[in-house]
Amino acid sequence: MSSTPENVVFIVHFNGKVSRNLSGSFFHSERRKCFIMSIKSTLAHLKKRIEEKLKLRDTQMISQILYRVPQSFAGSHVQYNDVEISDNGDVADMFVIHKSFEVIGAIELSVTIENCYD
């Protein structure tokens, strides 16, 4: 019996803001989208899924992806930090970290979308 790749739920905040305080990092946006993706995905695939889900136009591009990474547990509270996802190694690390914090339901990303012109 062959095993199927594991999938992860993503929540994408876009063109919002990131706030940081002593309790950690928080993503804020008026609009969010959700999708599911395989843990075997690359940065190119992640960007493509985000572009499809956000229905980006040809004149728009993803300029930054931040991952809200769980850092530690304080009692029943998870503390987060944020790190930039910029290559395949970052994507692989994100999936490994997510798996080690099994109580976290979804991976949260903050995505910055910019208009690009020729």
The predicted pLDDT at position 66 comes to: 96
Q: Which residue has the higher pLDDT, 101 or 33?
A: 33
The predicted pLDDT at position 53 comes to: 94
The maximal CA–CA distance of the chain, rounded, in angstroms, is 52
Confidence of residue 29 (pLDDT cuts 50, 70, 90): very high
Confidence of residue 23 (pLDDT cuts 50, 70, 90): confident
> Using CB atoms within 10 A of its CB, is residue 61 exposed (0-12), middle (13-18) or buried (19+)?
middle
CA separation for the pair 83, 68 (Å, rounded) = 7
| pTM for this predicted structure | 0.87
Domain boundaries defined on the chain: 12-16+42-115
> For the domain bounded by 12-16+42-115, which CATH number is listed?
3.10.20
State yes or no: pLDDT of 19 exceeds 50.
Answer: yes
State yes or no: pLDDT of 4 exceeds 70.
Answer: no
CA separation for the pair 108, 118 (Å, rounded) = 32
The predicted pLDDT at position 1 comes to: 40
